[in-house]
């Protein structure tokens, strides 16, 4: 089954590559590695998912925001490499959660992104990861995630 077929089976529609909000690009390829800039969560209508986990949002809503963030990252990755079947391995995620200082379940929130990667890519989607809490994120987004991916030619 192709990655596109798997995405359809999961009901996932990829958006176009994210447009930067400052002076940077959504992704950079060097050799066989693609470095994806931090992406935030977008609703299907393209508006941002905002709020602080533990105040404005539940951990479950944060999980969904992380999943939506990964959908955006995959859209940017596809724009960079053309075909997601070229993914050899998801190498690393950095997941940042906009949360209160008392909130300690950042890994459970970022699982929304990690679970989707494993659902889509199987073992190639398993990755190293950091999940950290932040006092604030740009534009009050609830989650921001960076990703490094190894690709084949």
pLDDT band at 22 (very low <50, low <70, confident <90, very high): confident
The answer to whether residues 117 and 33 touch, using CB atoms and an 8 Å cutoff, is no
Question: How high is the mean pLDDT of the chain?
Answer: 96
Res 127 pLDDT > 90:
yes
Structural domain boundaries enclosing 115: 3-151
**Number of domains the chain is built from:** 1
Least confident of 19-28, 59-68, 72-81: 19-28
Which residues are CB-neighbours of 123 under 8 A, at least 6 positions away?
none
In CATH, what number is assigned to the domain containing residue 103?
3.30.1330.40
Res 17 pLDDT > 90:
no
Res 94 pLDDT > 90:
yes
Which tokens is 87 given?
A: 């993914």
Average pLDDT over residues 102-129: 98
Average pLDDT over residues 80-99: 98
């Amino acid at each position: 089954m192709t990655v596109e077929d798997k995405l359809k089976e999961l009901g996932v529609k990829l958006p176009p590559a994210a447009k930067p909000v400052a002076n940077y690009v959504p992704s950079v390829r060097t050799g066989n590695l693609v470095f994806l800039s931090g992406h935030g969560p977008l609703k299907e209508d393209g508006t941002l998912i905002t709020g602080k986990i533990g105040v404005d949002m539940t951990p479950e809503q944060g999980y969904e925001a992380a999943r939506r963030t990964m959908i955006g990252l995959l859209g940017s990755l596809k724009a960079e490499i053309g075909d997601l079947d070229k993914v050899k391995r998801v190498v690393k995620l950095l997941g940042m959660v906009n949360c209160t200082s008392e909130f300690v379940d950042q890994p459970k929130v970022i699982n929304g992104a990690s679970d989707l990667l494993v659902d889509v890519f199987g073992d190639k989607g398993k990755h190293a990861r950091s999940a950290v809490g932040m006092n604030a994120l740009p534009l009050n987004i609830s989650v921001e995630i960076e990703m490094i991916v190894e690709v084949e030619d």
